[in-house]
Structure 1
Amino acid sequence: MDNDAATTLVERIDALLPQTQCRRCGYDGCRPYAHAIARGSATINQCPPGGDDTVAALSKLLGVPLLPLDRARGESGPLLGARIDETACIGCALCIAACPVDAIVGAAKLMHTVLAERCTGCELC
């Protein structure tokens, strides 16, 4: 497969992934997971946020057998947005550092805020 075809395949795979960037697949985000699938070094069933529908879509796209979702990586379910408990937040900024999509803003020792429109529900915070 030439580089252009591989890039196109990666883009098509990435378009089927939920873009949560949660890392539960074992990769640093959806795009690296898409690259691994395209290379054949990852299976299509490693994305809990995408669930069975994503596994089925990847199976169809790639013409590979349908696999059950790898539940060892987490359960599929509705994506939950981040929520900051104002009574417990001490402004440590750990949630800001953990967020792969910069959906949390704030300053050290001050209350933080979730930008709901950016939050992917990755659960890393």
Structure 2
Amino acid sequence: MKADLTRPKLHVFLVEDAAPVRRRIAEAFSAIADVSVVGEAEDALTALSAIATSGAHVAVVDLRLTEGSGIELVARLSHEQPSVVTVVLTNHVAAPFRAACQRAGADFFFDKTSEFDAACHTIEALVKERAHAAR
């Protein structure tokens, strides 16, 4: 089946400190129709500027980064780039982490181990939402 060139791509930026994990996430998300992974970073400062220049619609953020924290990054994105949808995908899933991410402005929060499929379904839903809005 040929790709529909008239459908807009959902641009996803990955922020994850572990390169092998980033690769696996990038592969999974890139396999979703009309998704393009437009960049990757392992620290908050690099991610913040790269998300702005990449044209990302979605930032997928882990809480543990090589420098800075995912919660701080989500808060800055919510304030400085509010049109970017923030998806937290992490192994740090205790209630205090979820609450802190919600306060910081995260749009979605998923356990990397047990809710990865749900995160993929959310990315698929965002693709459909974007395609519908483009009509």
Superposition TM-score, scaled by structure 1 size: 0.30
Report the structure number with the largest CA radius of gyration.
Answer: 1
